[in-house]
Structure 1
Amino acid sequence: MDPEKKEWLLKLSVEHSYLYVLKKIFSDVNITITDENETILTDPEGKAIKGPGKAMSCLLQSKGVESGVIKRITDVVGLRPQQMIGYSTEEHPENPETPENPSKTPNLDSVIAVAKLRKWVFEGQITNKTAESIIDKLSDVYAKYQHIYCAQTKECSVPREKIKSVCDFYKVMVHSGQIESIIDHPEADTLYIENVDFSHEKRTIVSGLKYKVEKDCLLNRSCLFVLNLKPATIKGTKSFGMILFATPNTPNTPGTVIFTETNGQRLILRDYPISELVPFTIAATDCSKKTTETFFTTVSIASEKLLYDGMATSLGGREVTIPGISSGRLS
């Protein structure tokens, strides 16, 4: 970019992060999501416009977007989840690809409306901020119109029947971590104490693997761990997570931890990456009992593949497999 060329700067609050979709349409607008409480647009001359409605109106006018479309977009910005349940739109017949002139993008108002629905359905459900009483109705509306959004953004489309499972999966933060040291727990015969490097942080994990996996098999190896569990004190040692263990459905067959090639990466659903569903990193919150129970009853192993409600999982761009276990479960 020409350093002398001035540009539009749009800083979005997390509440208005769905407007990040504009980055797919206006390549000359610098858009970021911040921790600030206010959404602020700064024009090329340095003038700041505060508030999402005024910011959208000013930006879209500068891009030559029709006034009727701008009005519909600013109306959508002000809607709350309950009000979006009745949302409906009519598609324009034009090619859904972004035209040469972005201001003429077909269904621009609908794309932004569906982006807002997508935020509540996925981010809101994952963080438990969208009320359960309306999530099914919002999901119905979103599923009806998500093809408009996905045609414009090229991001993944989630079948209606999979939306809840996708959200339930991402409520549990599973990361790969390398075991840097491991010792027998001094106060328990069946436990190990592991120091684990997750790349972005290190944690102490207590696990009941002593008579299941030899220490030498774990040392300096990377495995999968659940990180957003409430810390627990186990026999006097505080544990900040748990290692995942795969158990075959076949009786009297030994289980295994899930070894990975890298550490510090998050387990995702291969066809529904969280980076496409939520455009910023969600802060971790401790799993509820209901969340962990749902996760462990839904995750499975089939044909040596780690699945969630039948959906393939991925780590670092590779499908996760558990060699030697054709059918099993996790604990």
Structure 2
Amino acid sequence: MSGGEIELIDLNKHFGPHRAVDNINLQIPGGEFFSLLGSSGCGKTTTLRMIAGFERPTSGQIVLDGADMTETPPHKRHVNTVFQSYALFPHLNVFDNVAFGLRRQKVEPDQVKRRVNEALELVQLTSFEKRKPAQMSGGQQQRVALARALVLKPAVLLLDEPLGALDARLRKQLQVELKSLQQQVGITFVYVTHDQEEALTMSDRIAVMSNGRIEQVAPPEEIYEAPATVFVADFLGVSNLMDAVASGSDATGRCKVKVGGFDCYAGRGSADATGTTKVTIRPERVRLEPKGTGGENRIPGTVQRWVYLGNSVQLIVGLATGAKIQALMQNTGEEIPYREGAEVAVHLPATALRILEDTGAPLASAED
């Protein structure tokens, strides 16, 4: 079994009547960059704290590399944690902050120096060892916190929204650096975030959480392209959700659906679905065509809003069904003919229209 493998078995955490974590089962292989993604209160940080040993489960097991760690105190688990606040010692310089854990373990001084220098080289801070935290930027402090965790050579590194306090530009830069660092050191990273872009950019796999439960676990592309539930489709990225009535598959294996009285076909999701359901399509898959254009999966609409985003243009379109959807058109340098008030045919390609399962989880945006 590879080092850093985590298994959560029937894991629960209750705070009085509230179920913060509700019967989670999860396997994370060693060396994976795994993200727990969800809005505030979904249970992701509580799950991370139980893996770290800072919270004790109400029931269930936490297994690390085949050993049950459920009752093991934090300092005896081969894991380390990087917090959003970094928790650096303000009176110690960078070298001493990174060396702190090694000295507590009574590592020989020459080994401390070698390992601290190696850790600082990993995070590109080799010339900063004499600086105090107050003399450093937020991004540099985050790197010190990473070095302090990595110098102890844990089997698992737990990261609780470590980029949350940084500005957007620096956050994007460090997303790439953090993924590169994880690949370089080869240990398991478990990353908690509410930021969809962070999860999509860095993760090998993502678990989307809601109300203490896991809605879907999959690689980023699958989570985005093939959301398993209404909640996942609504939470991850921008998704056009529409009420529909399904009547099973046709001869081509697509599901026949009525969207506000218009006959359409959904080529993704359960082709055998029947009855009231929801369908979804991503804005970049929606096609706007001149009014009156014929063909399947086309619904009349009117452009209600036109928003310039630089590399693309976002159009809010009111459908004849009464629903509103978003369409995203790339800025190719050519004029986009559909302005506010334009009547259009909205093409929802069957290859991009998906039937969704509704688990009953309340819809929420990533900003919640």
TM over 0.5: no
Q: Which has the higher strand share?
A: 2
- Return the TM-score normalized by structure 1: 0.31
Q: Which has the higher helix share?
A: 1
Larger Cα-atom Rg: 2
